[in-house]
Amino acid sequence: MTEKNNINWQSMSDRAIIESLGLYIKHHRLEQNRTQQELAVASGINRSTLNQVESGKAGSLLTLIQLLRALNQLAILDAFEIVTPISPLKLAKLEQKKRKRASGNKQSNNTPKSSW
């Protein structure tokens, strides 16, 4: 069973956060038994760039996304999803607009009139 570390991101320096991200990339690369060269090729970056990212020395947001994609770890970006809650008033209005009954089959007016 894995333990969840409670990291206080607010108290960390920017450098420490970058180092943590590098360790995250390295951990998942090793967990997938991939070399730096294999991951670098899969993500479209140089091996030296990957080495710098894993060491917490350099990297860009684009590089991080490329690495996460190659490691199949893009799901961690779910935390950035913006969810706008619907207000109870708007929800009630939407409920009122829902159909309450089926209209049934309507007869067409194409029936010929009687000659009587």
Within a domain: residue 58? yes
Q: Tell me 12's DSSP state.
A: S
- Tokens read off for 30: 């090793």
pLDDT tens column, 32-43:
999 999 999 999
Model confidence band, residue 108 (pLDDT cutoffs 50, 70, 90): low
pTM for the full model?
Answer: 0.68
φ, ψ for residue 115, nearest 5 deg = -90, 5
Q: What is the mean pLDDT of residues 13-25?
A: 93
Q: Does residue 107 have a pLDDT over 70?
A: no
Within a domain: residue 84? no
- Tokens read off for 51: 């080495």
- Tokens read off for 61: 């947001």
Residue 54 CB neighbour total at 10 angstroms: 22
Domain count, the chain: 1
Q: Provide the residue range defining the domain that includes 71.
A: 9-77
